[in-house]
């Protein structure tokens, strides 16, 4: 069994319903072809919980992650997630073609964006200014994922401070894709997921232990029980 990162924060909780004041959107009718994840404070634990339950069903989609962290910590998280999920996990490399079933983490000092390639998405570095005081920024990844994958884009916004991911989630939704956010009770900080939920951009607001399972069902095409 893989070891745990020596970080604080919740790893599981009892299921409960989303807050009724947040309006939920319909899920896309298309099966996701990509999973793009944004997280910050409390993110390593949240990522571990989501990816551990999602990993057995992720053969057909690449997974991209932006986690606000120092550059030298990205490789630590990458190695930990690879041991946990038993999936190829690496720092995204400039110009590399993304492979389904692989997990890619944005480097800690540059934006990660995707472009459409002949046989899959091409990852590229963008050394632009910070967005939302963040570099890498979730918004940059989400915007580019929406352009490449359109309505087959699934975004996950996990625990984190601020509102990075809000505008990127809006572009995912505008392209026909879907966004799932972590709920307030299981988030260390409900800034990033809360901003998306409050804007009415989420198709589900879930406790941490349910996000990976729902994502797995979506990428397997199981939609019959999802909220209309």
Q: Judging by beta carbons within 10 Å of its beta carbon (0-12, 13-18, 19+), is residue 29 exposed, middle or buried?
A: exposed
Determine the straight-line distance between the first and last CA of the chain, rounded to whole angstroms: 38
* Per-residue tokens: 16: 């409960």
* Whole-angstrom distance, CA of residue 58 vs CA of residue 11: 21
* Whole-angstrom distance, CA of residue 148 vs CA of residue 135: 21
Is 40 one of the annotated active-site residues of the chain?
yes
CB 64 within 8 A of CB 182: no
Closest CA to 184 of 208, 155, 163: 208
Identify any residues that bridge with 111 across adjacent strands, giving them in sequence order: 126
Is 68 one of the annotated active-site residues of the chain?
yes
* Whole-angstrom distance, CA of residue 205 vs CA of residue 64: 20
* Residue 36, H or E segment: strand 34-39
* Per-residue tokens: 181: 């956010």
Which among 28, 53, 68, 178 is annotated as catalytic?
68
Which among 40, 55, 78, 169 is annotated as catalytic?
40
Closest CA to 181 of 167, 166, 171: 166
Which among 53, 144, 164, 169 is annotated as catalytic?
164
Backbone angles phi, psi at 36, to 5 degrees: -115, 130
Residues recognised as catalytic: 40, 68, 164
């Amino acid at each position: 069994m893989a070891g745990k990162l020596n970080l604080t924060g919740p790893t599981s909780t009892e299921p409960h319903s989303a807050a009724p004041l947040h309006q939920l959107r319909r899920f896309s009718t298309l099966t996701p072809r990509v999973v793009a994840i944004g997280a910050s404070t409390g993110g390593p634990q949240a990522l571990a919980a989501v990816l551990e339950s999602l990993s057995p069903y992720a053969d057909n989609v690449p997974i991209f992650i932006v986690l606000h962290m120092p550059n030298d910590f990205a490789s630590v998280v990458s190695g930990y997630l690879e041991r946990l999920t038993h999936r190829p996990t690496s720092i995204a490399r400039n110009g590399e073609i993304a492979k389904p079933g692989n997990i890619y983490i944005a480097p800690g000092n540059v934006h990660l964006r995707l472009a459409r390639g002949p046989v899959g998405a091409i990852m590229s570095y963008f050394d632009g200014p910070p967005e939302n005081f963040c570099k890498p920024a979730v918004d940059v990844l989400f915007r580019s994922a929406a352009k490449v994958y359109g309505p087959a884009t699934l975004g996950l916004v996990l625990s984190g401070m601020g509102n990075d991911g809000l505008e990127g989630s809006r572009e995912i939704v505008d392209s026909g894709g879907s966004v799932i956010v972590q709920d307030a009770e299981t988030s260390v900080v409900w800034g990033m997921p809360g901003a998306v939920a409050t804007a009415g951009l989420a198709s589900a607001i879930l406790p941490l232990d349910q996000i990976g399972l729902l994502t797995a069902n979506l990428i397997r095409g199981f939609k019959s029980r999802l909220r209309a």
